[in-house]
Amino acid sequence: MPKTNYSVEILQLKAVQEIPGAWTTHHFRELLKHLEYEGVEEIAENELKEMACMALSDFEKEEAVEKVLEFRLGDKLKSGQRKNLGNEMQEDPLWVEYSDIALHEELFHVGCILFWSFPRNFPAPDIAKVVLKITPANPESKSDLSRPTAALLCRILNDGMDENTIMNRLFDESLEGNAFPEAEHIIWQMEASGYDPESGTVTVTLYTSWNWVEDLKGVQKFESSAYPDA
């Protein structure tokens, strides 16, 4: 049997509509400048989000998509790709479905402001916030929790679900190998807190698409044989 390296308790698994810090007053101000909105510097901070959404809503929906994609993703998408996504983003949650998972997190942030600006025309943002309490089961695993990596966390999450999960189907070799580069695009944001150097226990908060963690619903505790990349 696989060696148990961690005991895991799911403290929270819930839907959220945005990731804290993804859209700040700085982002809204810079987006307004990108849209060539006049008098940006005079706008009060507490009005920036509303003004950015109002400015976007003055554009046709397809053009608004292109503008936000250009702002958030720069040259990661070509002009033709941005145009194609103008229609697609009105129909589908591309933070789940787009072929390049490296863009999923930014596509979610784009989807958020498009929904705020055009709530009747774009899918409502909906992703998972997961809070885990992780305790090492042996001394060798303790040090890995002082700075948990995305690869380690993906393997831990996967151990809490059955073998038919989409993560397992797509990345079985990475999950079982020594390198899991895709993990950085599965775990969008994470924060470790409350690390106890004596026991090695740590609490980790992470944000990701439901696509990867749907099967954790109903799970409270599980054992994991996960490990970080070599």
Q: Cβ distance 183 to 154 under 8 Å?
A: yes
CB within 8 A of 9, min separation 6: which ones? Answer: 132, 133, 135, 220, 221
79 vs 32, 60, 63, 69, 195, CA distance in Å? 20, 17, 11, 10, 45
Among the listed residues 204, 225, 207, the one whose alpha carbon sits nearest the alpha carbon of residue 148: 204
Q: How confident is the model at residue 172 (pLDDT cuts 50, 70, 90)?
A: very high
For the chain, what percent of residues have pLDDT higher than 90?
Answer: 91
Average pLDDT over residues 187-197: 94
pLDDT at 21 over 50: yes
pLDDT at 15 over 90: yes
pLDDT at 184 over 80: yes
Q: Give residue 1's pLDDT.
A: 46
pTM of the model: 0.94
